[in-house]
Chains A and B, each alone.
Chain A
Amino acid sequence: MSSQPLRLVGKLQQAQLEATMKVLVPIKRVIDYNVKVRVKADNSNVDLANVKMAINPFCEIAVEEAVRLKEAGTASEVVVVSIGDKSCQEQLRTALALGADRAIQIDTDANLDSLHVAKLLHKVVEEEQPQLVILGKQSIDSDNNQTGQMLAALTGLPQGTFASKVVVDGEKVNVTREVDGGLQTLALSLPAIVTTDLRLNEPRYASLPNIMKAKRKPLDVKAATDLGVDLTPRTNLLKVTPPAERQAGIVVETVDELVEKLKNEAKVIA
């Protein structure tokens, strides 16, 4: 009744599976998170002229997680993809310098909704057949928090959103998620879609030798129009305005004065 031979076969299969696991990481070029956002005078959008751009911070965490899976021997290849005009090649090169193996740019200068992005990524997933797709949970420009979930729906794959821990275990991945009130752990069958939350990891800085090496890594360009996705806009951005400014209040000198103001002026404490 020894189960040892069986278990050995299981382990072998697992090793083979892991050795061929490809991870796809979609990334987005956005305004650098340190830059103060200004709205254009005509209220058509925010002003991105001559503004520093960077990889969306949540996407950077996704790249880091994929690279760590490769370094741990779990993943065999890390492919990064970005959708946009030629300028997003800068962020793809950054991702290659962080340790991704190759890059794909889906070339378009159209204004895309998350749904379009998810549909284009769906085509990439069909072509690349990754075992795991890791994306940022949201981009810090449009703050939609949609693309990963939409891609999961279109591909029919399970999702683990807002991940703070990702553990690949044979043909499953266990994802610990940040939820209201604490953490939730799910088991997803592979292939699966994971979106990153802040605490998943702390991304590394690219070293100069790796930045040089990244310049020679493959970067394929594909026209979005060749992928057979209808990119007709589904939303219309009518107006962008600055938020209502809050007026600065007063500085009080003592705790007594503060308590008095909160009781009698603001009336927020009894």
Chain B
Amino acid sequence: MSILIYAEHDNHELKADTLKTVTAAQAIGGDIHLLVAGENCSTVVEQAAKVSGVSKVLVADNAAYKNQLAENVSLLVLELANDYDVIMATALTTGKNFMPRVAALLDVAQISDIIAVESADTFIRPIYAGNAIATVQSLDAKKVITVRATAFDAVATDGSAEVVNLSQATDAGTSSHVSDEFTESERPDLGAASVVISGGRGMQNGENFKLLEGIADKLGAAIGASRAAVDAGFVPNDMQVGQTGKIVAPDLYIAVGISGAIQHLAGMKDSKVIVAINKDAEAPIFQVADYGIVADLFDVLPELESKL
């Protein structure tokens, strides 16, 4: 069995979640290669070569892959696909975007967002926002799979894979990159943070999210939000935790003024320890919380910050 994993990165840094996708690949078993497609991405290649369990790193460093446009990246992966039985990517922005294109071009049904490997052709994945868990067998000879990274541990980084440069530079010519608008933050990435503190509709407005910042600074936490807080316009969508936002599983998740709608729980219920702060004792969030405080968040937050 040979497995190709698409490395998720931003031309500077290999996303740590790729290390977790390697663990998923090891559960399937086989010779594992990483593909780094980008432009001026040599630091990513260096990091990729150190990922344990990987025997080879394929590098497509070309302007055509600078922004990892789905049209171009899918054609690249398609060209390489002949040599592999399994093609995998992390279910993050890039992987979710281009992988179904690869599957369709290979005439394969993709298995999305797996959380466990049962056997080489059978996988476990959440459906209905995690309210049901499906065991799915792929009947295609070649497998195209995306991986929910929070469900797997990361491999170590003490490997030394062979680096092979590719000459591919296919530009489909149908799409082009216009601009990026990234949220500037000194805090850890929501998906990678070991502590996450999230605010919901109970925060009342965007200004009050400042109350979370002091606590986040003390705990080295990322700040998230429920869909209700995003819909109400308190904070931008990239802070959203839930079925329709980010899926997180930190060591500690603090839900502040969040009622605990199904769609929010789907994004955080695999956290190791959950704390709920809510003045409504009946809020469903308390049914999943390890520790709850039934109190006004505007009293609790300043006190919590001072006592950490």
Contact A179 B93 (CB under 8 A): yes
Contact A159 B70 (CB under 8 A): yes
Check B282 for interface membership: any CB of A closer than 8 A.
no
Check B207 for interface membership: any CB of A closer than 8 A.
no
Q: How many angstroms between the C-alpha atoms of A141 and B137 in the bound complex? A: 18
Q: Which of chain B's residues have a CB closer than 8 A to the CB of A198?
A: 227, 230-231, 237, 244
Q: How many angstroms between the C-alpha atoms of A114 and B107 in the bound complex? A: 11
Contact B182 A243 (CB under 8 A): no
Contact A143 B100 (CB under 8 A): no
Check B133 for interface membership: any CB of A closer than 8 A.
yes
Tally chain B residues at the interface, Cβ within 8 Å: 89
Contact B127 A146 (CB under 8 A): no
Cβ-defined partner of A258 (8 Å) among B109, B113, B139, B275: B275
Q: Which of chain A's residues have a CB closer than 8 A to the CB of B177?
A: 184-187
Q: How many angstroms between the C-alpha atoms of A147 and B180 in the bound complex? A: 25
Cβ-defined partner of A180 (8 Å) among B69, B93, B110, B292: B93
Check A37 for interface membership: any CB of B closer than 8 A.
yes
Q: How many angstroms between the C-alpha atoms of A254 and B300 in the bound complex? A: 9
Contact A141 B128 (CB under 8 A): yes
Contact B178 A258 (CB under 8 A): no
Q: Which of chain B's residues have a CB closer than 8 A to the CB of A181?
A: 182-183, 189, 238
CB contacts under 8 Å to A, within B89-145, are 92-93, 96-105, 107-113, 122, 125-140
Contact A234 B287 (CB under 8 A): no
With A141-B128, A143-B127, A249-B291 already in contact, the answer to whether A239 and B134 are too (CB < 8 A) is yes
With A161-B70, A255-B293 already in contact, the answer to whether A174 and B178 are too (CB < 8 A) is yes
Contact B291 A266 (CB under 8 A): yes
With A118-B104, A146-B110, A149-B70 already in contact, the answer to whether A31 and B128 are too (CB < 8 A) is yes
Q: Name which of A63-71, A101-109, A150-158, A218-226 contacts chain B.
A: A150-158
Check A233 for interface membership: any CB of B closer than 8 A.
yes
Check A115 for interface membership: any CB of B closer than 8 A.
yes
Contact A242 B272 (CB under 8 A): no
Q: Which of chain A's residues have a CB closer than 8 A to the CB of B136?
A: 235-238
Q: Which of chain A's residues have a CB closer than 8 A to the CB of B272?
A: 268
Q: Which of chain A's residues have a CB closer than 8 A to the CB of B304?
A: 255, 258-259
Q: How many angstroms between the C-alpha atoms of A151 and B172 in the bound complex? A: 16
With A242-B133, A269-B308 already in contact, the answer to whether A140 and B128 are too (CB < 8 A) is yes
Check B174 for interface membership: any CB of A closer than 8 A.
yes
Which of the listed residues B122, B219, B288, B291 has the most CB atoms from chain A within 10 Å of its own CB? B291
Q: Which of chain A's residues have a CB closer than 8 A to the CB of B288?
A: 246, 248
Q: How many angstroms between the C-alpha atoms of A118 and B67 in the bound complex? A: 26
Check A201 for interface membership: any CB of B closer than 8 A.
no
Query: Which secondary structure characterizes the binding site on chain A?
Result: mixed
Closest B residue to A266 by beta carbon equals: B273
Q: Which of chain A's residues have a CB closer than 8 A to the CB of B172?
A: 158
Contact B130 A243 (CB under 8 A): yes
Check B241 for interface membership: any CB of A closer than 8 A.
no
Contact B138 A159 (CB under 8 A): no
Check A144 for interface membership: any CB of B closer than 8 A.
yes
CB contacts under 8 Å to B, within A4-59, are 31, 33, 36-37, 39, 46
Check B290 for interface membership: any CB of A closer than 8 A.
yes
Closest A residue to B265 by beta carbon equals: A246
With A183-B180, A261-B291, A262-B291 already in contact, the answer to whether A238 and B104 are too (CB < 8 A) is no
Check B307 for interface membership: any CB of A closer than 8 A.
yes
What's the least CB distance linking A224 to chain B, in Å? 17
Cβ-defined partner of A235 (8 Å) among B93, B101, B138: B138
Check B2 for interface membership: any CB of A closer than 8 A.
no
Closest A residue to B107 by beta carbon equals: A115
Contact B139 A234 (CB under 8 A): yes
Q: Which of chain A's residues have a CB closer than 8 A to the CB of B132?
A: 37, 39, 46, 240-243
Contact A249 B110 (CB under 8 A): no
Q: Which of chain A's residues have a CB closer than 8 A to the CB of B300?
A: 255
CB contacts under 8 Å to A, within B250-308, are 251-252, 262-263, 269, 272-275, 281, 286-294, 300, 303-304, 307-308
Which chain B residues have a beta carbon within 8 Å of chain A's beta carbons? 67, 69-71, 74, 92-93, 96-105, 107-113, 122, 125-140, 172, 174-183, 189, 191, 195, 219, 227, 230-231, 236-238, 243-244, 246, 251-252, 262-263, 269, 272-275, 281, 286-294, 300, 303-304, 307-308
Query: Besides the contacts A46-B127, A148-B100, what 18 more A-B pairs have beta carbons closer than 8 Å?
Result: A143-B112, A153-B74, A161-B70, A162-B96, A235-B136, A235-B138, A240-B127, A243-B130, A243-B131, A249-B289, A249-B292, A250-B290, A255-B307, A262-B291, A268-B272, A268-B273, A269-B195, A269-B308
